[in-house]
């Protein structure tokens, strides 16, 4: 019997996992700079939370959920996205209470699950990084959060990026726009793609960002949602634009850009790469304001703003661009063993060095010394400690600095008992003159 990973899942092996660690830790640093705090919510939740929170008509809920009945006959689902769970947690833990700082700025990094047809950049288990800001309607929250997203991508030296924004207005003005849009689209009903026909009465705004060529032609003449904004939404959007302009952040407005999820209002944004290599997966980050979701999920009326992006797609892009991950080759010492008799002393030596804070690897396979030195070199070890039967008898170890090429000897007992004096002297003796 052999086993294979499930379709659409991936193993992240050593060699690859270092890249993930680098990306996650740099992202965490930037998030810290912006004062975002991490939240970790469960990987599965009640099915209804997503149906309600993400929207029944979204592809995520209607087509892509991993949902099932557990042994207690509860309908549960693996999370397809991060926002619903974070909002549930915000409400359940009363993070809106007065003792908490407002706005509350949260982020998450972790796996998400969607039943999709797997292809490059599209998996059934994938990872997202997302942020949510709760409790402020200030347009500078929108701007700060978009700047954070841009900063994250800038850190990885992604260029050819475009910030695209739009406003969906308030729920009331959107209802009005919705009606007008349906009226505009109805005469073209027969020409619309099947998906758009299905969406026309359920979620006509989605027709605007249809990928179908014919649909795209038709919606070119559609009324602009920006003409339907009420005064508050207009001023909010103007404020966002003024701040971006004042900070000389280039942006574009796309009045046909809507998001796949129903809960957005006012500012929405996408970061798009204009690099033709990434054609179909051009959107690398998306988000916006969602002021009614917290209430929808049972909390007090709370404005919110967030975004999310996929880490697999980010890594793919970095791959394409030949991004140089900084290698953290932190190996202080490699212990070379010559002869079976030294095995136990090598174990002790390795342990003592580690207890003194060094990162150490040792030989386990009793290979020829030349091979062991090669490994030490490959692992970028700074020092090689060699212990053979002669050294064992004399209670000594030979030490070579792979950078300077210089060698010395040190007494084992001295090293074990007076490390903090012996070790610096040893390092000094291995330095080349004048260095
Ligand atoms: P797409 O149009 O590619 O299906 P989406 O609109 O479903 O994307 P969102 O729900 O907005 O995507 O999720 C945000 C990000 O999560 C996407 O931009 C993408 O980077 C990533 N993502 C979404 N689905 C997958 C998946 N199946 N595999 C890998 N990454 C994904
Ligand atoms: Mg999708």
For residue 310 and ligand 1, the question of a CB distance below 6 A is answered with yes
Question: What pLDDT does 107 receive?
Answer: 98
81 CB near ligand 1 (under 6 Å): yes
For residue 64, give the nearest of 83, 78, 52 by alpha carbon: 78
* pLDDT at 433 (0 to 100): 77
Contacts of 133 (CB under 8 A, 6+ apart): 103, 104, 105, 106, 141, 145, 304, 305, 306
CB distance 36 to ligand 1 below 6 Å: no
310 CB-near residues (< 8 Å, 6+ apart)? 121, 126, 127, 128, 284
pLDDT at 281: 59
Dihedral-angle region of residue 52 (phi above 0 means left; psi in -120 to 50 means alpha; beta otherwise): alpha
Question: Is 270 touching ligand 1 by the criterion CB < 6 Å?
Answer: no
| 5 Cα: distance to centroid of ligand 2 (angstroms) | 22
d(CA 196, CA 210): 7
Sorted by where each begins, the domain ranges of the chain are 17-167+250-320, 171-228, 333-434
State the fold for domain 333-434.
Rossmann fold (3.40.50)
d(CA 257, CA 119) in angstroms, rounded, equals 25
pLDDT at 56: 84
The mean pLDDT values, 10 residues at a time, for the chain of 435 residues are: 96 96 97 98 98 88 96 98 98 97 97 96 97 98 98 92 96 92 94 92 90 92 95 98 98 89 90 82 91 96 98 94 84 97 98 98 97 96 97 98 96 97 97 75
What 8-state DSSP symbol labels residue 81?
S
How far does the centroid of ligand 1 lie from the alpha carbon of residue 153, in Å?
A: 17
| SS3 of the chain: helix, strand, coil, percent, to 5 | 40, 20, 35
111 lines ligand 1 (CB under 6 A): no
Peptide bond into 103 cis (omega under 30): yes
Mutate to test the pocket of ligand 1, among 119, 311, 313 (most ligand atoms within 8 A of CB): 313
Among protein residues, the one with the nearest Cα to ligand 1's atom 26 is 122
- 408 strand-pairing partners: 399
Nearest to 165 by CA among 266, 261, 306: 266
CATH class for the region spanning 17-167+250-320: alpha beta
pTM: 0.92
Q: Of all atoms in ligand 1, which is nearest to the CA of residue 123?
A: 28
If phi > 0 it is left, if psi is from -120 to 50 it is alpha, else beta; for residue 422 that is alpha
């Amino acid at each position: 019997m052999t086993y294979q990973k499930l379709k659409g899942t991936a193993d992240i092996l050593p060699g690859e996992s270092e890249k993930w660690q680098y990306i996650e830790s740099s992202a965490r640093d930037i998030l810290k700079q912006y004062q975002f705090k991490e939240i970790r919510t469960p990987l599965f939740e009640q099915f209804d939370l997503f149906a309600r929170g993400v929207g029944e008509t979204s592809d995520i809920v209607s087509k892509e959920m991993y949902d099932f009945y557990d042994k207690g006959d509860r309908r549960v689902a693996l999370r397809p996205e991060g926002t619903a769970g974070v909002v549930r947690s915000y409400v359940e833990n009363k993070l809106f209470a007065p003792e908490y700082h407002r706005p509350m700025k949260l982020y998450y990094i972790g796996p998400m699950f969607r039943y999709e047809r797997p292809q490059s950049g599209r998996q059934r288990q994938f990872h997202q990084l997302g942020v949510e800001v709760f409790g402020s309607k200030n347009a500078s929250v929108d701007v700060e959060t978009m700047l954070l997203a841009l900063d994250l991508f800038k850190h990885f030296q992604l260029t050819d990026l475009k910030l695209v924004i739009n406003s969906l207005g308030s729920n009331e003005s959107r209802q009005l726009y919705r009606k007008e849009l349906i009226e505009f689209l109805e005469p073209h009903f027969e020409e619309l793609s099947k998906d758009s026909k299905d969406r026309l009465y359920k979620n006509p705004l989605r027709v605007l960002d249809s990928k179908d060529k014919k649909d795209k032609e038709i919606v070119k003449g559609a009324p602009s949602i920006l003409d339907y904004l009420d005064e508050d939404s207009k001023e909010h959007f103007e404020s966002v634009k003024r701040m971006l302009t004042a900070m000389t952040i280039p942006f574009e407005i796309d009045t046909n850009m809507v998001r796949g999820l129903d809960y957005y209002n006012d500012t929405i944004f996408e970061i798009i790469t204009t690099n033709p290599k990434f054609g179909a997966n051009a959107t690398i980050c998306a988000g916006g304001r969602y002021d009614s979701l917290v209430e929808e999920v049972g909390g007090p009326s709370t404005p919110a703003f967030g975004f999310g992006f996929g880490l697999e797609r980010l890594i793919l892009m970095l791959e394409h661009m030949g991004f140089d991950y900084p290698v953290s080759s932190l190996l202080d010492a490699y212990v070379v063993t010559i002869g079976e008799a030294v095995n136990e002393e090598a174990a002790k030596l390795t342990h003592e060095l580690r207890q003194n804070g060094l990162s150490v690897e040792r030989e386990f396979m009793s290979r020829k010394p030349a091979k062991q030195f090669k490994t030490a070199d490959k692992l970028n070890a700074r020092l090689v400690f060699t212990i053979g039967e002669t050294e064992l008898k004399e209670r000594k170890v030979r030490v070579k600095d792979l950078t300077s090429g210089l060698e010395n000897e040190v007494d084992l007992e001295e090293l074990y008992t007076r490390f903090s004096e012996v070790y610096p002297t040893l390092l000094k003796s291995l330095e080349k003159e004048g260095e």
